[in-house]
Amino acid sequence: MNKKIILGVFLSLLPIGYLGMAHFSGGAYSTLGLPLGGDRGELRDMTLSFLEDIQFKDFEKAASYHEPSIQAEVDIPFLLERIFMLKPEAMDIMEYEIVFAELDSTELRGRVKARIKCKDLIRNNTRNQEVIYFYHRDSLDSPWYMVLESSLREQKGDKDKKH
């Protein structure tokens, strides 16, 4: 009788322990559709969704991860070409995975590193590329927005400073 009780307690604590581990890992483990992982889990999910949109060439949806005021201006195909050095129509994203997601000390900025397996359809070769996606928000209650376009713009130095 005691062995059955101990086994029952162990089996009931096992899923709780797993879901706790999934939450504290920032959503690194499958949560069976439960909204666990906090902000890091949310950034992981956003990045996975963004990569799926790119994989299926839904550039309008991919632009929707940016701030609403600039979504219409974000040129996702151009940005992809800058990242992968390959025209989007010649690129086949075969696989992707999230390596890590992290937040800064203010929890207003985040970054997610993804490993992407991509096939160049013209040269018929495959390569793996790691990309870091940056996110920001105005306050802890605000939604997260991607900053893909600003990190790839041509930067000009400050004319009043030495370079």
Instruction: Tell me the pLDDT tens digit for each residue of 106-141.
Output: 999 999 999 999 999 999 999 999 999 999 999 999
| Residue 17 belongs to a domain | no
Q: Is the dihedral of CA 112, 73, 54, 61 positive or negative?
A: positive
pTM: 0.74
pLDDT in tens, 50-73: 999 999 999 999 999 999 999 988
| Residue 95 belongs to a domain | yes
> What is the extent of the structural domain holding 83?
37-151
| Residue 6 belongs to a domain | no
| Residue 12 belongs to a domain | no
| Residue 159 belongs to a domain | no
| Residue 29 belongs to a domain | no
| Residue 14 belongs to a domain | no
Is residue 87 over pLDDT 70? yes
Provide the domain count of the chain: 1
Q: Please give the mean pLDDT across all residues of the chain.
A: 83
What's the confidence (pLDDT) of residue 19? 63
What's the confidence (pLDDT) of residue 101? 93
We report the CATH number of the domain holding residue 139 as 3.10.450.100
